[in-house]
Amino acid sequence: MSITSQPGETEQSEQQPEQQPEQQPGGPARMTKGERTRARILAAAEQVFAELGFHDASIVKITEAAGVGQGTFYLYFASKIEVFDEVVEDLNRRVRHAMIEASSQAGTRIEAERAGFRAFFEFTARHPALYRIVRQAEFVSPGALRLHYTRIVEGYREGLAKAQQAGEVGDIDPEVAAWALMGIGEIVGMRWVLWGPDVAPGGPTSAVPPEVFEQAMRFIERALAPGGHEGEVGP
């Protein structure tokens, strides 16, 4: 999944630190004390929502995990649903930033796809909350769910359209292709990253096996290739 940033978004992504366990280079040093506190609350909320689910999570549990008082929480967020929506937005911003960074130096569209998909799978292995929280949003905050996916598709569609103009992508609607490719990443990641080799929901995250990654990329390359490679089978 190779996406492009929206106008003015690169700067925002660089200012928003990658939360536990890694951080954007130089990010925390540029943050004020209030920004660091807000980021700590968001990181705690991400953890609590992922582990307990929205309905069993509480502001008390979030503030305890963040090491701040409830009064401090309300300086930054008005309610549990507001911090939930912000966690979804923050995860979305971070995963898009990871994919953009990974694919930015690619020389061809398929190289960009490989880099973007790999970055997505690596991000979800480090942050399984991306799946667990976004899936909760379907019932808790449908608007946040829709925004999460449409933001990814907007950048994806733009990149595919440019590649199509350059003759690297065949005759396919870029928006249809963007949604379809995002679906591949979502489900392949859920199966092999989130569930792991034993398909045991809730277990430790794993990684997409190399052979699975290569099979998926071969499928994607043929789907996007000019001419479509109709009827071609085998490796």
Average pLDDT taken over every residue of the chain: 86
Cis upstream peptide for 21 (omega within 30°) = yes
**The domain 84-235 belongs to what CATH superfamily?**
Tetracycline Repressor, domain 2 (1.10.357.10)
Q: Which of 177, 144, 147, 143 is nearest to 160 (CA)?
A: 177
First to last CA, the chain: 22
> In this structure, are residues 191 and 131 in contact, taking their beta carbons and an 8 Å threshold?
no
Q: How far apart are CA 162 and CA 157, in angstroms?
A: 9
Per residue in 26-82, pLDDT (tens digit) is: 455 578 999 999 999 999 999 999 999 999 999 999 999 999 999 999 999 999 999
Nearest-Å Rg of the Cα atoms of the chain is: 19
Residue in this structure with the two tokens 């034993």, named with its chain if needed: 198
Residue 20: per-residue pLDDT: 41
- Parse the chain into domains and list their residue ranges: 32-78, 84-235
Element housing 62 (H / E): helix 59-66
> In this structure, are residues 79 and 87 in contact, taking their beta carbons and an 8 Å threshold?
no
Residue 202: per-residue pLDDT: 54
Q: Which of 115, 86, 69, 68 is nearest to 19 (CA)?
A: 86
* pLDDT, greater one: 198 or 224: 224
Residue 204: per-residue pLDDT: 62
Name the pLDDT band for 8 (thresholds 50, 70, 90): low
> Helical H runs in 21-58?
33-52
Per residue in 192-218, pLDDT (tens digit) is: 988 877 655 555 667 899 999 999 999
Residue 195: per-residue pLDDT: 86
- Tell the CATH topology of 32-78: Arc Repressor Mutant, subunit A (1.10.10)
Residue 173: per-residue pLDDT: 97
CA 91 to chain centre: 6
Per residue in 129-185, pLDDT (tens digit) is: 999 999 999 999 999 999 999 999 998 999 999 999 999 999 999 999 999 999 999
Name the pLDDT band for 23 (thresholds 50, 70, 90): very low
- pTM of the shown model: 0.82
